[in-house]
Amino acid sequence: MSTLLAVSGSPSGTSRTAKVLHLVIRRLAAEGHRVRLVSVRDLPPAALLGSDPDHPAIAAVARCLAAADGVVIATPVYKAAYSGALKALLDLMPQRALAGKVVLPLATGGTLAHVLALDYALRPVLAAMGADHVVNGYFLHDRLLHDTDDGGVRIDESVRLAFDQVVDGFITALRHRTPSVQPTTPANGTAQRVVVEVRTSTASPTRM
């Protein structure tokens, strides 16, 4: 099975984007994939805003990215673009950090006017980072996300099948992925509490 990296681009502590990403993580883990989660809100603001790729936390993310076969990137849409915190993180990754990886972009937002943000804002950045296999992504309107009693989120049944098919497409692409030489990443620094690993579909994420 594949080693995957899931990136939550939301700066919010009550983010529905992050909750949607956890749904995807559980699905991927249930398929036997090893999934690590990085949330931009857990990374040191000074390192992100100061463009410090050598900070231990940023270097740890770069190593996780280098080791991943596939990447899921989820972001809220603000003013027709992905989050600034996510942009700050992507800017600190190696130039061709996504080369040879399968990438699934996901987004949430409060208006259908933001639907094209995946294709016109995020996808060009992924391509610039060397991604040659970006599968079809999905935009979820906020009104299609329903809070659950356990603090999670439920995707409205009207779009759940379409969303599941997008995740299925990512899983299928992983099976047919052709490995390539991975880019060199910073070797200095140690991982801080920025990565979450999910081993099974039922286990709760635990911090490394």
Q: How many CA atoms lie within 13 A of 43 on its CB side?
A: 32
- Range of the structural domain that residue 108 is part of: 3-198
Residue 88 lies in a domain: yes
Residue 206 lies in a domain: no
Cα distance between residue 83 and residue 74, in whole Å: 10
Give the per-residue pLDDT at 165: 97
Residue 203 lies in a domain: no
pTM: 0.85
Question: What pLDDT tens digit does each residue of the chain (208 aa) get?
Answer: 899 999 999 998 789 999 999 999 999 999 999 999 999 999 999 999 999 999 999 999 999 999 999 999 999 998 889 999 999 999 999 999 999 999 999 999 988 777 888 888 999 999 999 998 999 999 999 999 999 999 999 999 999 999 999 999 999 999 988 665 444 333 333 222 344 433 333 333 433 3
Other CB atoms closer than 10 Å to residue 94's CB: what's the count? 18
Residue 103 lies in a domain: yes
Residue 111 lies in a domain: yes
Domain total for the chain?
A: 1
Q: CATH number for the domain including 192?
A: 3.40.50.360
